[in-house]
Amino acid sequence: MANVLLTGAAGAIGMDLAFSLNQAKINVFATEADRDNFFLVSKSCKYYNKVFQAPRAGSEEYINRVNEIITKENIDIIIPNPDFEVGFISKIREQIKSPLFLPSHETVEILLSKSLTAKKIGDLAPKTFEVSNEADLKIAISSEKVVWLRPKTGAGGKGSLIVSDSKFGWMWIEYWKKRGFSSSWIAQEYLDGGNYNVTLIYDRNSNLCGMGMLERLGYIHEAISPTGVTGDVRMAKTIKLDNVVNIAKNAVNMIDKNPVGIFSVDLMGDKVSEINPRFAGRPRLYTLSGANFPAHIVDMELNNNSSYLESIEGYKLIRQVDIEPVAIKED
């Protein structure tokens, strides 16, 4: 039986991955850096064989701890999350004693920056403006009237705001700076349209081996976010729009001609808002719709099974705090 190591055990995506691997009877081990979250998942999440407390990514101690776990549990492959750990473990991948399922480090660096991603994919992205001062923001708003103000890096919609007034928008950035949030900022044209995720899985030979598409319908605690976006999806449904899937594929190929790994493409309508080098859609929903991508990755990596797997339309995920998510098939 295969042994998989996940990082970020207590995150929603980490638990979705553990659920999916557990469904396939694959041994799931994981790391968690937050002490309180470690106690929570190590005692209460039935999908993990074992969760290990680890230092925060970024240190020699982190590398040593991960390698210790790899040796102790005979780990076959690592699927990293979230962004911070993906960025660090990608950079030091040669020091890790187990294969990683990640794009190349050059590609990871591009994808962890929303502005670099937008530059690479050109017209497939919303019109994007670098914001270093209030004057930059004023230029963006003069051009677009309304912009989506957001940090260049990070996840979960943190810091994002719909802005039509440069003075107010710059006050928002200053507020986040005073809170110690160090990211630089961009302003992008504000887009209407569906809130989509297209997850693409490529094997070591750059063959497309998996595709899932969903539409996000709502977020947990959306009322406390000024944009209604928290990154923690409450409801989503599997769909398939060929034109949107093709845009996602084209965007990936513009960034990496030989893609390997997970490319989780987020779109608003027909524009790509960001691409993650990790799972960012809802792996649990894809699994419950017939496409267990985490298990398929293990099969690809260990058994050279590069068959094609696709999510099935019409499944709706319903999530809430402190209760197990469900997926229902809609007519």
| pLDDT tens per residue across span 215-257 | 999 877 665 566 656 667 889 999 999 999 999 999 999 999 9
Give the Cα separation of 41 and 45 in Å (integer): 5
Q: How far apart are the first and last CA of the chain?
A: 37
Residue entry with tokens 């990640």: 102
Q: Which residues of 52-80 are buried (b: 16+ CB within 10 A; e: fewer)?
A: bebeebeeeebbebbeebbeebebbbbbb
Closest CA to 246 of 196, 182, 298, 179: 196
Q: Helices H, strands E: what count in the chain?
A: 11, 16
Q: What is the mean pLDDT of residues 18-46?
A: 95
Percent of the chain with pLDDT over 70: 96
Q: How far is CA 268 from the centre of its chain?
A: 16
Flag whether pLDDT at 214 surpasses 90: yes
Evaluate if residue 171 carries a pLDDT over 90: yes
Q: Where along the chain do the CATH 3.30.470.20 domains lie? A: 192-329
**Sign, Cα dihedral of 212, 217, 222, 225:** positive
- Kindly report, as residue ranges, where domains of CATH 3.30.1490.20 are found in the chain: 127-189
Query: Which residue type sits at 233?
Result: V
| CATH number 3.40.50.720 given to 3-100 | yes
For residue 51, which of 43, 59, 60 has the smallest C-alpha distance?
43
pLDDT at 133 (0 to 100): 94
Q: Which CATH superfamily is domain 127-189 in?
A: ATP-grasp fold, A domain (3.30.1490.20)
State whether CATH 3.30.470.20 applies to domain 192-329.
yes
**Strand-strand pairing, 261-268 and 271-276:** antiparallel
